[in-house]
Chain A
Amino acid sequence: MHLDHSHTGHHPERHSASAALPDGSRRALRVGLGGPVGSGKTATVAALCRELRDRLSLAVVTNDIYTQEDAAFLLREAVLPPERIAAVETGACPHTAIRDDISANLEAIEDLETALLAKGAPLDVVLVESGGDNLTATFSKGLVDAQIFVIDVAGGDDIPRKGGPGVTTADLLVVNKTDLAPYVGSDLEGMARDAKQQRGELPVLFQSLRGEPGARPVAAWVREQFTAWTARAVATA
């Protein structure tokens, strides 16, 4: 909890995305992963955990729509120990839990931070995976510091052209399952062109988890974010 909250007209950001823990130490970087159902968010999270877990202290919060399956998958795959995985239930509205009413997710993140701090293993990065939703579902800035939007080539190669808040504004757009492109007739160059048009200078990464380099480019992007986050936290300390 935020015991040092003052009432002198400061922004209420301490309740959500303040860069420091109540004791003044740096809190973990929070990265959201959103995107339509079946685009490969959970598989990407699992792959990111495998790539990053030896370098960074990681935790994952899943937002399942009506089960605990995403959390169960991550546990079964043993990508992280159970004490680093938490599931949030979203009451049939996954976008509400990441955008309009972020309280349950903030609580899950803080519980993970507190528990791991108590074990002497403070977190570096928390990955928050949204429940599968639609193209308008984005994370609140009160919940995450950076967000990745995951779409896939089989969901239709016109998705980048259609745009929408996820495609247009996410800090990173991942076009997943590029290995399927020849089978579903998706035009990867066209997707790249459309994404560039929608996103300007914001980055886009094409990814296939079935082969090299797998999730390594996305993992490298997360590490860049973490480096920048750490530098920012030092600068403002």
Chain B
Amino acid sequence: MAGAAALLLLADGRFPAGGHAHSQGAEAAVKAGRVHDAATLEEFCRGRLHTAGLTAAALAAAAAAGHDPLALDEAADARTPSPALRRTARKLGRQLMRAARATWPGPELDELAAARPQGVHQPVVLGLAARSAGLGPLEAAQAAAYDNVSGPATAAVRLLSLDPFHATAVLARLTPETDEVARRAGTAGSGAVEDLPAASAPLLEITAEQHATWPVRLFAS
């Protein structure tokens, strides 16, 4: 596959774009007792992958396909009812923008950064970063889909002192589904913006609002 190394770099959890401080809903799910071991982590990640993950991956694919990122940012807002999640998505988008402009500089990233200095939704920036790295819609969707499961898995290791081998095995078991979600998202991303998937996970939206008010927490979201 062309650009495989660039995709590995973009999807690497060590890519310095601020993701390490976010649990993508895992902290709230752990506190509520819904995630307490590898099996329940897998259920959480699977649910996230097929809902918020699919939507994010399609937005990333659409940005990589060359759709107007500002229109995609609006499409992301329409798919994100929770103000807390919108704030988080834009914050992470802004942080990813910084890393992307340092690693794969390009005029499209510069234009978007100038148009929205406070950031756009992270999947949109992810897609544009992939485009700037020479990757296509499918690869952008793969990076976004993987981010949607690897983030919570990493957070669960810290939150639950979960065996890291078990958490990584969860991600390995999810790889066929992650690929399938990325494939669907990649195809959708090449179509019209108004036809992008709008799968959502209401519980993630609700718990994100609650989590944002906690006085004591390990993760920013």
Does A92 lie within 8 Å of B113, measured CB to CB?
no
Q: Provide the main secondary structure of the chain A interface.
A: loop
B66 at the interface (CB under 8 A from A): no
Chain B residues within an 8 Å CB radius of A5? 101, 105, 110
Does A91 lie within 8 Å of B20, measured CB to CB?
yes
A107 at the interface (CB under 8 A from B): yes
Does A103 lie within 8 Å of B158, measured CB to CB?
no
A52 at the interface (CB under 8 A from B): no
Interface residues of B in 172-221 (CB under 8 A from A): 215-220
Does B21 lie within 8 Å of A67, measured CB to CB?
no
What class of interface size applies to chain A in its complex with B?
20 to 34
**1/0 per residue B10-28: CB within 8 Å of A?**
0000101111111100000
Interface centre among A65, A91, A92, by most B CB within 10 Å? A91
Interface residues of A in 77-119 (CB under 8 A from B): 88-93, 96-97, 100-104, 106-107
Given A91-B21, A101-B16, A104-B95, A1 contacting B217 (CB threshold 8 A):
no
A/B pair count, beta carbons within 8 Å: 82
Does A103 lie within 8 Å of B17, measured CB to CB?
yes
Q: How far is the CB of B65 from chain A (nearest CB, A)?
A: 23
A182 at the interface (CB under 8 A from B): no
Name B's A-contacting residues (CB within 8 A).
14, 16-23, 91, 94-95, 98-99, 101-103, 105-106, 110, 113-114, 117, 155, 158-159, 215-220
CA distance A1 to B155 in the complex (A): 30
Does B101 lie within 8 Å of A2, measured CB to CB?
yes
Q: How far is the CB of A64 from chain B (nearest CB, A)?
A: 10
Q: How far is the CB of B221 from chain A (nearest CB, A)?
A: 9
Name A's B-contacting residues (CB within 8 A).
1-3, 5, 7, 12, 15-16, 65-68, 88-93, 96-97, 100-104, 106-107
Does B20 lie within 8 Å of A101, measured CB to CB?
yes
Does A66 lie within 8 Å of B16, measured CB to CB?
no
